[in-house]
Structure 1
Amino acid sequence: MRVLRARHGFSQESFGFAAGLHRNYVGAVERGEVSPTLPTLQRIADGFSIPASELLALAERLTKEAEE
């Protein structure tokens, strides 16, 4: 999420506002301290104005790249 947020030029606070999430929660997700529920993943996708499926595909691709 951090990579996508940075690409869109959001701060944690501004992205939290766009997604309807608290900025502390955004940071906790980025640090891997909490795992968002499916409804929260939808809110995150809505904050980026992308389909949730695209958000999940991007996360999967970045995870695979990090493992290589």
Structure 2
Amino acid sequence: MPDKRTSRLVVSVEHLVLGRAVRELRARRDLSQERLGFHSGLHRNYVGAIERGEINATFRTLLTLSSGLIIPLSELIRLYERRRPDHIPSETTRGERHA
């Protein structure tokens, strides 16, 4: 779906929230996209696209980013979960019923 502010393709709200989490962690470490890309072995444009929610990052890419940020992947996921809007159902609530 297009992001009305930038006219760019956003993969999903979840990807947008994940991207914002990456951006926040990068900013906390006072890293530019270029420096994070260098430390992660990713191009700065790719880091920017992740931060804008334009890319469906793979597990391996998330591991690479967390390594570049010098954090465990779980910290990135925790920040994503704290930033996720309440209206987005988690995997355990999507169409599943637990007794």
TM over 0.5: yes
TM band (smaller chain): 0.7 to 0.9
1:3 aligns with 2:24: yes
* 1:32 partnered with 2:53: yes
Answer yes or no: is 1:52 the counterpart of 2:73. yes
Aligned residues: 66
Task: Describe the superposition over 1:9-66 as per-residue Cα deviations: whole angstroms up to 9, x where unpaired.
Answer: 000101100111100000000000002100000001101111111111111112248x
What TM-score comes out, normalization by structure 1 length? Answer: 0.87
- Higher Rg: 2
**Correspondence 1:23 to 2:40:** no
Unaligned runs of 5+ in 2: 1-21, 89-99
- Which protein, 1 or 2, shows the higher relative CO under an 8 Å CA cutoff with sep ≥ 6? 2
Moved over 4 A (4+): none
TM-score using structure 2 length: 0.62
Two-structure CA RMSD over aligned residues (Å): 1.5
